[in-house]
Amino acid sequence: MPQFMVMILENEVEERKLAPSETKALLEGQSAWERELRAVSAYLDGERLRPASEGRRVSRRDGQLRVDRGPFGERALSACYVVEAEGLDAAIKLAEKCPLAPGAELEVRPLMKGALQPDRANRRGRLFAFAVLGSAPSERSWIEVMDRIDESTRNHFAPDRFSGGVRLQEPARGRGMASAGGRRAVFDGPFLESKEVIGGLFFMRMADLQEAVEWAGGSEFMKHGTLEIRELWRS
Amino acid sequence: MEELSQTFDAVFQREKGRIVGALVRMLGNIDAAEEAFQEAVLAAIPTWRAGGVPANPAAWLTTAAKNHARDAARHRSIVAKNAPLLVERDTVTPETFDTIADDELRLIFTCCHPALTLDTRVALTLKVVAGFTTEEIARAFLCPEKTIAQRITRAKKTIEEERLPYEVPEGAELPERLASVLAVVYLMFNEGHTPRQGPLMRLDLQEASLRLGRALCDLLPNEPEVFGLYALMAFGFARVATRGDAEAGLLLLSEQDRARWDRPMIKEGLMALQRARRLGGRGSYLLQAEIAACHTTAEQWETTDWSRILGWYDELLGLTGSPVVALNRTVAVAMHDGPAEALAALAELEAPLASYHLFYAIRADFRRRLGQDAREDYRRALELAGNESERVFLRRRIDEAS
């Protein structure tokens, strides 16, 4: 069965305005949604990400390595799930039941290839998500970039560090969903306002954020685009 | 310049535990490791002042400390042959990710070994793992610096003489040893949250215990009580800004401005609590965190879910049998069933808690709410209380009752 990545993009400014009781209700609602996915065997993997304000973006511009601190824009990736569904419509159906914070959006993207490792939460050390950000003018160039990334990173990960990852199909094959005042609207990719879209995501164990930044700066990814580094919640 | 050296101090403090952990493995004992770390700090200050803090300060300090240690070891090679060792010196094992995690854990478990008294464990952990100076520890516990220095020296001697194993305990031994570690972290936090003597709070202690608690979550990700304790501390820390000040005295939970509670910190607590629950925990830290979560997510004191809190207290009391837990439970009884019921529940606690100021403060509160004379109890509480803000609070209540 095809696999999809469900990404939740939260407006952290809005999310911080939630009262503790609302945060609690939201977290419990999302956990209940995860349980539902598991109950219908659609759930393959999932992680929540700590605030973007704690994160970093590492890129290379004009030969210079550049490290930016978060937040990076209006919305930030706050959770990602890998689900199995018969098609994009079915995946959207699963995703749209996920409770969202005010101002949050949701993206559903077909997977290109993945190496999952759902037991990562049991591993020691700090866990980080590395999101590969970039853009491609056409489907063909997207596939080329993805292949290059695959080639250049095939032996790039130390096995005691790597904790799974996925590459995504081009954004035009995905779909987004925004919520406003209880109403939901579905829209097609490529996604509004996004110059940089997520092409893939992988997880690594690191001693700390500094080490993660250092690793990213020396990685092959710097040839292709930007890496956003975000610590995972242990939940 | 002042500001810069504060930044440096924060970095040194944050990184010390991990670096010293690795150095102990290399050098064989805590003293030599601390000395090497200190040398690295001395080397860092002028270098960083000139060129800025490096991108990866931990890596910088580790390299500097190892270089120093290597030089020093060459000098002392003859002496070292006779020195007692915690571990066989190990310079050949390649450093994988897990050996580094083990280094830090081993250090924490050794500093928190149950063969040492609780106060000694706290002092040693603050010094070696949390990077406090002897002077800072002395200030935190209102002790002369000399006393703390002696306590730490004795502790290190005990570790060497009794050959306390420098290892991460496994199997049947782990629960007891872990409890000993968590007790240290929690005492550190409580001493920062409501010092037995002195000011309202000590933020440095609370921050250090939170940092240590979070490090333990990453080092022992499958231990529910580690997450329970971290959640409990996060909920407590989320309220620091609203707990009053030296002038106003302590503000009770019912009097605090809930809008000013630290929401990201509350989320931190909720996420850790979720993990503790998922891991199947039912220990005392998890139960206390559940109670704290009920309080922290209630919109008002009056709308708190008291029956749920009572349920958690019953379970906690069944688990610990602690009179202090029984005392705290009566506060929930008072809200759920009224102060008369709560006062009755206090009767059997007077004997075990006769020297605990909060027993009298709580009884006084019940009596006050029942329209009885509470002045005597407030006075007893004031006699026994050492925390300045609690004292201000109690004086205020005595004035109101007179």
From A133-142, A224-233, B56-65, the region with the lowest mean pLDDT: A133-142
CATH of the domain at A191: 3.30.70.1060
Q: Is B271 in contact with A27 (Cβ distance < 8 A)?
A: yes
Q: Residue A45's pLDDT is what?
A: 93
Question: Which residue did the predictor score with more confidence, B266 or A139?
Answer: B266
Q: Residue B177's pLDDT is what?
A: 95
Q: Give the nearest chain A residue to B97 (CA atoms).
A: A160
Q: Is the pLDDT of residue B1 over 60?
A: no
Q: Residue B274's pLDDT is what?
A: 96
Across the range A22-50, mean pLDDT stands at: 95
Q: Residue A192's pLDDT is what?
A: 55
> Of the spans A56-70, A125-139, B228-242, which averages the highest pLDDT?
B228-242
Instruction: Report d(CA B150, CA B153) in Å as an integer.
Output: 5
Minimal Cβ distance to A23: which of B96, B97, B267: B267
Copy the structure tokens of residue B352: 């075990």
Q: Is B100 in contact with A124 (Cβ distance < 8 A)?
A: no
Q: Count chain A–chain B contacts defined by CB atoms under 8 A.
A: 81
Q: Beta A76-84 vs A3-10: how paired, if at all?
A: antiparallel
Q: Residue A172, Cβ neighbours under 10 Å: how many?
A: 14
Q: Is A27 in contact with B297 (Cβ distance < 8 A)?
A: no
Q: Residue B354's pLDDT is what?
A: 94
Residues present in chain B in total:
402
Instruction: For chain A, say whether B253 makes contact (Cβ under 8 Å).
Output: no
Q: Give the nearest chain A residue to B226 (CA atoms).
A: A234
B293 forms beta bridges with none
CA-to-CA separations, B226 to A122, B276, B319, in angstroms, rounded: 13, 8, 17
B119: closest CA among B100, B103, B140?
Answer: B140
> Of the spans A152-166, B86-100, B253-267, which averages the highest pLDDT?
B253-267
Minimal Cβ distance to A27: which of B57, B274, B278: B274
Q: Is A125 in contact with B56 (Cβ distance < 8 A)?
A: no
Instruction: For chain A, say whether B292 makes contact (Cβ under 8 Å).
Output: no
> Of the spans B1-10, B141-150, B178-187, which averages the highest pLDDT?
B178-187
Please count the CA atoms within 13 angstroms of the CA of A143 that sit on its side-chain side.
Answer: 4
Contact criterion met (CB below 8 Å) for B141 and B190? no
CA-to-CA separations, A111 to A146, A151, A184, B341, in angstroms, rounded: 12, 17, 24, 61
Q: Is the peptide bond before A99 cis (omega within 30 degrees of 0)?
A: no
> Of the spans A213-222, B139-148, B312-321, which averages the highest pLDDT?
B312-321
CA-to-CA separations, B62 to B20, B56, B58, B116, B349, in angstroms, rounded: 8, 10, 6, 28, 52
CA angle B10, B11, B15 (to 5 degrees): 120
Q: Is the dihedral of CA B388, B391, B396, B399 positive or negative?
A: negative
Instruction: Report d(CA B92, CA B87) in Å as an integer.
Output: 14
**Percent over 70 (pLDDT), chain A:** 94
Contact criterion met (CB below 8 Å) for B250 and B389? yes
Q: Is A123 in contact with B274 (Cβ distance < 8 A)?
A: no
Q: Is A24 in contact with B270 (Cβ distance < 8 A)?
A: yes
- Report residue A141's pLDDT band, with 50, 70 and 90 as the boundaries: confident
Contact criterion met (CB below 8 Å) for A66 and A226? no
Calculate the dihedral angle through the C-alpha atoms of B177, B180, B182, B187, rounding to the nearest 10 degrees: -170
Instruction: Report d(CA B180, CA B183) in Å as an integer.
Output: 5
CB within 8 Å of B85: residues ≥ 6 apart: B28, B29
What's the complex ipTM? Answer: 0.94
Q: Residue B189's pLDDT is what?
A: 95
Mutate to test the interface with B, among A10, A161, A235 (most CBs of B within 10 A): A235
Minimal Cβ distance to B221: which of A27, A124, A208: A124
Q: Residue A223's pLDDT is what?
A: 76
Across the range B243-250, mean pLDDT stands at: 79
- Chain B positions touching A31 (Cβ under 8 A) are 274
Q: Residue B278's pLDDT is what?
A: 94
Per-residue pLDDT tens digits for A81-105: 999 999 999 999 999 999 999 889 9
Q: Could you give the maximum distance between any two Cα atoms of chain B, in Å?
A: 77
Q: Is A235 in contact with B274 (Cβ distance < 8 A)?
A: yes
Give the number of domains in chain A. Answer: 1
Instruction: For chain A, say whether B174 makes contact (Cβ under 8 Å).
Output: no
Q: What is the pTM of this model?
A: 0.93
CB within 8 Å of A170: residues ≥ 6 apart: A136, A139, A142, A143, A189
Instruction: For chain B, say whether A31 makes contact (Cβ under 8 Å).
Output: yes
Instruction: Give the domain extent around A121.
Output: 3-231
When the pLDDT of each residue in chain B is averaged and rounded to a whole number, the result is: 90
A13: closest CA among A104, A88, A84, A92?
Answer: A104
- Chain A positions touching B299 (Cβ under 8 A) are 19, 21
- Report residue A180's pLDDT band, with 50, 70 and 90 as the boundaries: low
- Chain B positions touching A214 (Cβ under 8 A) are 55-56, 59
Q: Is the peptide bond before A118 cis (omega within 30 degrees of 0)?
A: no
Minimal Cβ distance to B56: which of A23, A160, A211: A211
Q: Is A122 in contact with B222 (Cβ distance < 8 A)?
A: yes
Enter the CATH code of domain B305-402.
1.25.40.10
Across the range B109-127, mean pLDDT stands at: 94
Q: Is the pLDDT of residue A193 over 60?
A: no
Across the range B345-357, mean pLDDT stands at: 95
- Chain A positions touching B98 (Cβ under 8 A) are 124, 160
Question: Which residue did the predictor score with more confidence, B300 or B27?
Answer: B300
Q: Give the nearest chain A residue to B268 (CA atoms).
A: A233
Across the range B257-263, mean pLDDT stands at: 95
Across the range B347-357, mean pLDDT stands at: 94
Q: Is the pLDDT of residue A131 over 80?
A: yes
Locate the domains of chain B by residue range. 1-84, 305-402
Q: Residue B43's pLDDT is what?
A: 93
